[in-house]
A and B are shown apart, each in its own frame.
Chain A
Amino acid sequence: MTIMKKLLASAVASALMVGGAQAEISNNTVKIGYLADMSGTYRDLSGPNGLKALEMAIADFGGTVKGAKIEIVTADDRNSPDVASSTVRRWLENDNVDMVAGLVASSVTIAATKVIEENDKLGLVNGSAASSITNEYCTPNHIHYTYDTYALSIGTPTAIVKEGGKTWYILTADYAFGHAMEADVTRVVEANGGEIVGSIRHPFPTPDFSSFILQAQASGADVIALANAGADTTNAITTAAEFGVTQSGQTIAGLVVFLSDVHALGTEAAQGLQLTTGWYWDMNDETREWSDRFMKETGARPTMVHAGIYSSTLQYLDAVEKTGSDDAQTVRKQMMDTPINDMFTKNGRIREDGRMVHDMYLAQVKTPEESSGEWDLYKILRTIPAEEAFRPLADSKCKLISSK
């Protein structure tokens, strides 16, 4: 059966070659699969609202690309790599899906991109944090767009050490992501002349942080860094506020903090928290305009992931239009050759390892007095230039880089 398929495919291919390497959009349809957590831990930073962002991108593009229809299929990944792997496989092998968007939990993304690579389609990763996605797990078939752990761990620690936060205590979620984050932070802090005076590995998830906060307090460190995410981070911040950590002169540094987290915490508990973000809705007229439309659709302000989904989808459709093809490598090449200038970023570019490098921002959560409303949460302190924000290719373990 497969032999037949291959024969057929090569026959078709050679026929096309004769016709002069004619680019075309398969089935005259561009089919996008949106795979994300629709019901679990990562729902609010991606989830149903991410789908809305995707739909907005398609609508803004005009609904068709070079006369071809644009279709969306969606699935809840249930944060399970099995579900991701079988769903994506089916999409690509049976349902003619050309591009997979969303991709949140790192286990899901790694599983999905493996399948995408096997089928030579394209994946646009927006939700995942792990920088390993364009490092040891890189493939020629995906692009990591919004942010990653490397970028997040650069901005905040550098700024805080420079402001005089020399001694650090790290609360690390005890799993691969937390460990990677801890290593990154340690490197950055030490490179800037700071010192790690202690760290603690807490189970994931931890409902009560009082014990760990107490230990961090007792360490007397200038800064308590949170190498965790989601509910663990919000719980730790609430508890720190309760135990008077900031009053006693210690700074809290959140490493993976999303707008949805800060919104849940409120400015009272989170005020003063420094964090790194890839995008914020209230940066300029362009971002505000889009965010207003987004809010009309969803009732919430977009997170950086939502913005990334919107922007990357537009970039993708644009590349399909320019090349007239939905072939993964053709489109990826076109995307790599086109600098990104839109409401998400200026002068963003996609590297050969699939990492989209762009400016990141150091932000601080406003105090209740500074904040003018429910979603008026950050002030941007500093722009972290793209060259500094992401792992340099020289340090890359990506197979696409070392093989050159």
Chain B
Amino acid sequence: MSQTDIQSDIQKTILKQQKAEDRRKLMLNGILLVLLLLAPFVMYPVFLMKILCFALFAVAFNLLFGFTGLLSFGHAAFLATGGYTTGYLLSNFSGLTTEMGIIAGTLVAAVLGLGFALLSIRRQGIYFAMVTLALAQLVFFFFVQSPFTGGEDGLHGVPRGELFGLINLEDNLNMYYFVLVVFLACYLLVQRIVSSPYGHVLKAIKQNEPRAVSLGYKVDRYKVLAFVISATLAGLAGSMKSVVFQLASLNDAHWHMSGEVILMTLVGGVGTLLGPVLGATLVVNIEYQLGQGPLRDWVDPILGAIFVLTVLSFRSGIVGEVQKFVRKNMG
């Protein structure tokens, strides 16, 4: 056998493996999709929507943290900005259809994200985290002070309205499928971004920024773009959340929210696609189930224990650990 034959053989097996993996993934995704479509008939739709909104929030955060290596400790600012903008517009301008309100909220979050990015992107590591935290605190201060947010009372009675002026979103099922479609679109978008050439540059920056610079990439521009996309999606999550719950509140802007999204991403699996979704599902469920049960006074310490356990024992998160396991045993 000539060398080229061997090479092509190897390539073939790699291709085969890849195809097998692709098929596995496709199947997995198919199953998940069916489950998501059927879920509202089994589970409570509003609760499912809450999970989807937080899942989108975590996916957005993970694009920045997991794939670009930038830990933002201020993502609550975008969630809240999206929520407040959409909530305010839909409550005060009855001519707006729901999707217009959501788009507006998302855009404002995007602009804010650009501002954050320009101010913070040059900072490294912990300094980056701290600048984003500081900026988010300033945004929090703005929301506390602004009359339109209703202060700590919150912004209540946001009308769900009608999608494109046609579909009545007051109906939980309609609302659910709308949220699901938006969520899936964003998820696929992030998937595309990550596997695109642009995504590869992001990963290169994460692994070794100086090398990426020396390869001639304008690293800052890549990072700013990643930040803005992440902020936009986080804002979208907040906008939808305000429509689903028909309210927006200061909790979304508090730095604890920025901490919570880190927990979700970490538990699910940093730098994996499905991880943040799973993490958000888990954290929202834990909070809810514990809050109802006999351990309801112990939610915080239990969340704390999850933080500790995750960091100590499975830093790659659930999805990360499963991937490792699959690679070891099936690869």
Contacts and interface: CB of A to CB of B under 8 A. Distances in A.
Contacts of B300: 39
Contacts of A74: 292, 296
B144 interface: yes
B245 A85 contact: yes
A89 interface: yes
Interface stretch (A7-15, A76-84, A188-196, A367-375): A76-84
Q: What secondary structure prevails in chain A residues at the interface with B?
A: helix
B297 interface: yes
A11 to B, nearest CB: 21
B249 interface: yes
Interface string B119-158: 0000000000000000000000000110000111110110
Given A90-B44, A110-B153, A175-B144, A85 B247 contact: yes
B96 interface: no
- Chain A contact patch, size range: 35 or more
A76 B299 contact: yes
A255 B296 CA distance: 31
Interface string A62-94: 000000000001111011111101110110011
B152 A176 contact: yes
- Chain B contact patch, size range: 20 to 34
B171 A2 contact: yes
B100 interface: no
B287 interface: yes
B50 interface: yes
B247 A81 contact: yes
Given A82-B251, A176-B152, A76 B246 contact: no
Interface in B202-245: 241, 245
Contacts of A327: none
Contacts of A93: 44
A132 interface: yes
A90 B153 contact: no
Contacts of A79: 251
Given A86-B47, A111-B156, A38 B297 contact: yes
B152 A75 contact: no
Interface string A283-320: 00000000000000000000000000000000000000
A91 to B, nearest CB: 10
Given A75-B292, A204-B152, A39 B299 contact: yes
B153 A132 contact: yes
Q: What secondary structure prevails in chain B residues at the interface with A?
A: helix
A213 to B, nearest CB: 22
A177 B246 contact: no
A338 interface: no
Nearest to A43: B297
Contact of B245 (A82, A94, A110): A82
Contacts of B296: 38-39, 74-76
Given A75-B296, A85-B247, A174 B144 contact: yes
Contact of B151 (A89, A137, A175): A175
Contacts of B153: 106-107, 110, 130, 132, 176-177
Contacts of B50: 82, 86
B154 A111 contact: yes
Given A39-B297, A86-B46, A107 B152 contact: yes
Interface of A: 1-2, 38-39, 48, 73-76, 78-83, 85-87, 89-90, 93-94, 105-107, 110-111, 114, 130, 132, 137, 174-177, 179, 204
25 contacts: A1-B173, A2-B171, A39-B297, A39-B298, A39-B299, A48-B297, A75-B292, A76-B291, A76-B299, A81-B247, A82-B245, A82-B249, A85-B245, A85-B247, A87-B291, A93-B44, A107-B152, A110-B156, A111-B154, A111-B245, A114-B246, A174-B144, A174-B145, A175-B151, A177-B153
Given A90-B47, A111-B249, 18 more contacts: A38-B297, A48-B297, A74-B292, A75-B296, A76-B291, A81-B156, A81-B245, A81-B249, A82-B50, A82-B251, A85-B246, A87-B292, A90-B44, A90-B46, A107-B154, A107-B250, A114-B246, A179-B151
